[in-house]
Amino acid sequence: MKIAFIGLGNMGGGMAANLVKEGHEVRAFDLASEALDAAQANGCATFGSVREAVEGVDAVVSMLPNGQIVLSAYTGEVIGHAPTDAILIDCSTIDVATAREVERLAADGGYAMVDAPVSGGIAAANAGTLTFMVGGSGEGFERAKRVLEGMGKAVIHAGGAGAGQAAKICNNMMLGIHMIGTCEAFTMAKKLGLDPQTFYDIASVSSGQSWSVTSYCPLPGVGPTTPADNEYKGGFATGLMLKDLRLAMEAAETAGVDAQMGAHARELYEAFDAAGNGGRDFSAIIETL
């Protein structure tokens, strides 16, 4: 397929490279020249504007920082410029309302579009093992799936427009809460005299088990290799976790949900981010304990 890829940052760069490996012709755009150079080295053709990149394509994939940029890119550069038979796939993490608005505008322009945010982080983006949570029509999902399977291990239809974003923010609200609880438990276990690896061996097969324990332990040298073993570099940045928690709390307010644990997790990550830790992995919050 001929695929336009918009947004080649930490996540998008690896995703676009995997589409090339799958045999697709990838037409890439980003505002940063360094990102374009890296994409070109990975086999992508690069362009100076979104409008140029989307000419004659079968699909458009975007991975952008926020809802306002997504809305601007699609309404100003994609809709009316990409072929109307191209499937539009936004993999950014944005608010549900904006996702639904962009998909409505795309439908008005004659396009099929889905929201398909991801779970897995930079390592999974590079390895092609992301999980995609997809919102949109059944037909749009089936068309998008052909593209998304080249970048992920799981592609799941979450429901109608905006459902992918809803699944993503609910999932990451749980993750933020779980990580703080995991950090508290490992800190307390250590101060009570338990060996961290021994506690890991117990917790990872007991009722306290979670992904934050078994796959992403926040202590170095415990369990599988994680960002904790690399001074909390790489992985999932604190700033991105905070973004997702803020989106979750906005959605909770709109839906009338009293998400007290999510709100407290947001407060703790806001303080951690304000202390200059926005670029560090979110598991580094263990240092505050």
Catalytic residues: 168
**Cross-strand bridge partners of residue 89:** 61, 114
Q: Is 241 helix (H, G, I), strand (E, B) or coil?
A: helix
DSSP characters over 112-138? EEEE--EESHHHHHHHT-EEEEEES-H
Q: Which two tokens stand for residue 131?
A: 């999980």
CA 171 to each of CA 70, 85, 94, 133: distance values in angstroms, whole numbers, following the listed order: 21, 32, 14, 10
Residue 63: name the closest of 106, 16, 18 by CA.
Answer: 16
- Distance between CA 58 and CA 54 in Å, rounded? 9
Beta-sheet pairing, 59-62 with 2-6: parallel
Residues sharing a CB contact under 8 Å with residue 61, sequence separation 6 or more, in sequence order: 3, 4, 5, 6, 15, 16, 19, 89, 90, 91, 147
- Nearest C-alpha neighbor of 165 from the set 95, 72, 245, 213: 95
- Containing 6, the helix (H) or strand (E) segment is strand 2-6
Q: Which of 235, 21, 59 is nearest to 144 (CA)?
A: 59
- Strand segments, DSSP code E, in 130-268 are 130-135, 152-159
